[in-house]
């Protein structure tokens, strides 16, 4: 190591190599040039500008800054293009993001719109039940929510349920009862696929929980049918819907103006029907919603009362002790 000067654990030859590699010859640290600390003449080292070395003269500062600006702008543009491409790919794979709508049950103390649940059940019964099942919902679940007990019994009696076996070991049909579940339109999955061109209509009992963004997605899907834009081809038997993953769905548009006639006189527009059936499906996925919020509100009120009682007791118990004055009589 004789004859070599060392600075900061790096000899001057290594420092010159690092300086030539990274272009930090004349960067000042603590007010002193790195090369000068090594005891080398600064005029022997080249300057770097625009990625090449100059043997003498000052650094071309404005060119270097312009090069950096162009580099950063290009990197930013490539990043934006990459983000746009990934967003387009995500949209094509997962579908267009559904907007957020102001549902009646949004909020800490908000509850379901039970009139909308009743209309939504009517839409499901007259439109959706032809293909989709709701096997987790029983007729009695609708009592006190959308119908009275007598109305539910009348609804259940409209269907015929296969029951048995009887004393002879044979199955038989009987009128439905409130304890029966909503009947599926097909006997099994194979029959459902055969009737729908290979597509399987999903069970709608938990559809608002099984899909991201739940009710917003369902409503956007029901109202999102439109003609395919230029450049996008949809094969025969499918329908373009940007909110469905892939953009092509086997279910045609079934929610149309005047599709049902509501008992309460509400205009049966396509958006109204889609809103009501979505509200009904949201209730089906979470029927305990209103009761849970009511219990939570009671607990919050009880906790506030307990907190107030604890604060009052603390002031009553410790107030005299903390405000008293103690005098020590050291003379007597």
Annotated binding site for heme c: 128, 131-132, 251
Residue 47, strand partner residues: 54
Annotated binding site: 128, 131-132, 251
Q: Give the CA angle between residues 84, 89, 94 to the nearest 5°.
A: 125
SS (H, E, C) the chain: CCCCCEECCEEHHHHHHHHHHHCCCCCEECCEEHHHHCCCCHHHCCEEECCEEECCCCCCHHHHHHHHHHHHHHHHHHHHHHHHHHHHHHHHHHCCCCCCCCCCCCCCCCCCCHHHHHHHHHHHHHCHHHCCCCCCCEHHHHECCCECHHHHHHHHHCCEEEECCCCCCCCEEEECCCCCECCCCCCCHHHHHHHCCCCCCCCCCCHHHHCCCHHHHHHHHHHCCCCCCCCCCCCCCCEECCCCCCCEECCCCCCCCCCCCCCCCCCCCHHHHHHHHHHHHHHHHCCCHHHHHHHHHHHHHHHHHHHHHHHHHHHHHHHHHHHCCCCCCCCC
Q: What is the rounded distance in angstroms from the CA atom of residue 186 to the CA atom of residue 206?
A: 18
């Amino acid at each position: 190591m004789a004859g070599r000067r060392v600075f900061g654990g790096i000899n001057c030859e290594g420092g010159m190599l690092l300086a030539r590699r990274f272009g930090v010859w004349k960067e000042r640290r603590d007010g002193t040039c790195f090369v000068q600390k090594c005891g080398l003449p600064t005029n022997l080292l080249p300057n770097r500008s625009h990625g090449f070395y100059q043997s003498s003269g000052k650094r071309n500062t404005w060119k270097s800054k312009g090069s950096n600006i162009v580099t950063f702008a290009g990197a930013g543009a490539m990043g934006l293009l990459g983000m746009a491409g990934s967003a387009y790919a995500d949209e094509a794979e997962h579908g267009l993001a559904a907007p957020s709508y102001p549902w009646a049950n949004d909020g800490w103390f908000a509850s379901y719109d039970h009139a909308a649940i009743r209309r939504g059940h009517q839409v499901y019964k007259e439109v959706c039940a032809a293909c989709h099942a709701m096997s987790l919902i029983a007729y009695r679940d609708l009592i006190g929510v959308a119908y009275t007990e007598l109305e539910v019994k009348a609804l259940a009696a409209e269907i015929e349920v296969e029951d048995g076996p009887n004393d002879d070991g044979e199955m038989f049909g009987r009128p439905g009862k409130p304890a029966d579940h909503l009947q599926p339109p097909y006997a099994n999955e194979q029959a459902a696929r055969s009737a729908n061109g290979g597509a399987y209509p999903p069970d709608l009992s938990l559809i608002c929980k099984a899909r991201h963004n739940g009710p917003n997605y369902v409503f956007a899907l029901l109202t999102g049918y439109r003609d395919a834009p230029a450049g996008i081809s949809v094969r025969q038997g499918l329908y373009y819907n940007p909110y469905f993953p892939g953009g092509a769905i086997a279910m045609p548009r079934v929610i149309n103006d005047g599709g049902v006639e509501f008992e309460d006189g509400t205009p049966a527009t396509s958006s109204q029907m889609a809103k009501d059936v979505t509200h009904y499906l949201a209730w089906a996925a979470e029927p305990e919603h209103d009761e849970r919020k009511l219990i939570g509100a009671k607990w919050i009120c009880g906790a506030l009362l307990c907190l107030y009682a604890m604060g009052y007791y603390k002031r009553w118990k410790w107030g005299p002790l903390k405000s008293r004055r103690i005098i020590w009589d050291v003379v007597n």
